[in-house]
């Protein structure tokens, strides 16, 4: 069923109006009076609605029922990914949203080739958030993951370490596996941190360990920077029963 995202305040009303991009999208889909759609607030709440009127620039809806989104994961998984070249981060945002990520946080580190300035970062954030919204609609989610950036590696570590299980993946780690860490204790929140194209420096791995991270391997093969977070996210979702 087609879904739309609106501001949370709108979801409290018994009659909703879709305007702007939402109205344009509804017309592209050739929705008609009497069709049912789902309207979400982007935070996990949704309404089942019926289209009651269609005009030139808006779509009017009647709210039939309200509920919590059933498509959201029971575990909140935050993806922390170093700034990467090209559109790799866009790929991670799209796929991580489909897989159920709670949020995606980008950060700089020593080996990052891409270091966007404040002006370009503002534009990138707008684009990244739209990619997350589009992926949330396509995958039937009731929540749009927030796309964030922090301006230092240590800030990323400090923020990610608040999770029940904060994990950093390192290609030179051989002893500790993701399965071992996830089975060590119950969890509701997980942070997964991965490096850029050139990987993390040993001192950065030690820095993460001192901040409370578990250092894990993702197997005997070295994964690309855009593959590693999606692989890890899928594994956590499987372990938590989402698959």
Q: Are residues 59 and 107 in the same domain?
A: no
pLDDT at 13: 82
Query: 97 with 136: CB under 8 angstroms?
Result: yes
Of 22, 39, 68, the residue at which a domain comes to its end is: 68
Query: 60 with 50: CB under 8 angstroms?
Result: no
Least confident of 117-126, 127-136, 172-181: 117-126
- Give residues with Cβ within 8 angstroms of 24, minimum separation 6: none
Helix H segments across 161-198? 178-182
On the CB side of 98, how many CA atoms lie within 13 Å of its CA? 12
The arithmetic mean of pLDDT across residues 5-12, rounded, is: 84
pLDDT at 41: 87
- pLDDT more than 70, % of the chain: 100
Of 13, 36, 68, the residue at which a domain comes to its end is: 68
What distance in Å separates the CA atoms of residue 116 and residue 84, rounded to the nearest whole number? 10
Task: Count up the domains in the chain and report the number.
Answer: 2
Backbone angles phi, psi at 183, to 5 degrees: -90, 0
Contacts by residues 117-123 (CB-CB < 8 Å, ≥ 24 positions apart): 121/149
Mean pLDDT of the chain: 93
What distance in Å separates the CA atoms of residue 82 and residue 111, rounded to the nearest whole number? 9
Q: Are residues 42 and 90 in the same domain?
A: no
Q: Are residues 134 and 217 in the same domain?
A: yes
pLDDT at 14: 85
pLDDT at 9: 82
Residue 188 reports pLDDT greater than 90: yes
What distance in Å separates the CA atoms of residue 56 and residue 159, rounded to the nearest whole number? 46
pLDDT at 234: 97
Residue 59: give the domain boundaries: 3-68
Q: Are residues 129 and 218 in the same domain?
A: yes
Q: Are residues 122 and 52 in the same domain?
A: no
pLDDT band at 42, cuts 50/70/90? Answer: confident
Tokens of 167: 């994990």
Which of helix, strand or coil describes residue 95?
helix
DSSP state of 38: E
Residue 71 reports pLDDT greater than 90: no
pLDDT at 117: 81
Which of helix, strand or coil describes residue 199?
coil
pLDDT at 25: 86
The arithmetic mean of pLDDT across residues 4-24, rounded, is: 87
Q: Are residues 97 and 59 in the same domain?
A: no
DSSP state of 225: T
Q: Which residue has the higher pLDDT, 34 or 10?
A: 34
Q: Are residues 41 and 141 in the same domain?
A: no
pLDDT at 119: 83
β-strand pairing of 76-82 with 189-194:
parallel
Q: Are residues 39 and 105 in the same domain?
A: no
Residue 115 reports pLDDT greater than 90: no
- pLDDT more than 90, % of the chain: 72
72, burial (CB in 10 Å: exposed 0-12, middle 13-18, buried 19+): middle
pLDDT at 27: 87
- Please give the model's pTM, rounded to 2 decimal places: 0.87
Q: Are residues 189 and 228 in the same domain?
A: yes
Q: Are residues 43 and 100 in the same domain?
A: no
CATH of residue 13:
2.40.240.20
Q: Are residues 22 and 110 in the same domain?
A: no
The arithmetic mean of pLDDT across residues 16-43, rounded, is: 90
CATH of residue 182:
3.40.1280.10
- Tell which phi-psi region holds residue 155, choosing left (phi > 0), alpha (psi between -120 and 50) or beta: alpha
């Amino acid at each position: 069923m087609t879904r739309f995202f609106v501001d949370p305040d709108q979801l409290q009303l018994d009659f909703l109006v879709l305007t702007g991009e939402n109205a344009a999208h509804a017309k592209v889909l050739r929705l008609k009076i009497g069709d049912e759609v789902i309207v979400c607030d982007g935070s996990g709440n949704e309404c089942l609605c019926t289209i009651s009127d269609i005009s030139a620039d808006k779509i009017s809806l009647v709210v039939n029922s309200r509920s919590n989104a059933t498509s959201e994961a029971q575990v909140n998984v935050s993806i922390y990914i170093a700034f990467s070249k090209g559109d790799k981060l866009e790929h991670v945002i799209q796929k991580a949203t489909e897989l159920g990520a709670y949020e995606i946080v980008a950060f700089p580190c020593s080996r990052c080739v891409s270091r966007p300035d404040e002006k370009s970062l503002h534009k990138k954030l707008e684009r990244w958030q739209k990619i997350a919204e589009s992926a949330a609609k396509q995958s039937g989610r009731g929540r749009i993951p927030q796309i964030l950036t922090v301006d230092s590696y240590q800030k990323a570590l400090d923020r990610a370490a608040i999770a029940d299980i904060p994990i950093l993946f390192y290609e030179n780690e051989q002893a500790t596996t993701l399965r071992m860490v996830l089975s060590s204790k119950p969890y509701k929140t997980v942070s997964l941190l991965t490096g850029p194209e050139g990987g993390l420096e040993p001192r950065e791995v030690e820095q993460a360990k001192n901040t409370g991270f578990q250092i894990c391997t993702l197997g005997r093969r070295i994964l690309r920077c855009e593959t590693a977070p999606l692989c890890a996210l899928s594994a956590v979702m499987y372990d938590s029963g989402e698959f």
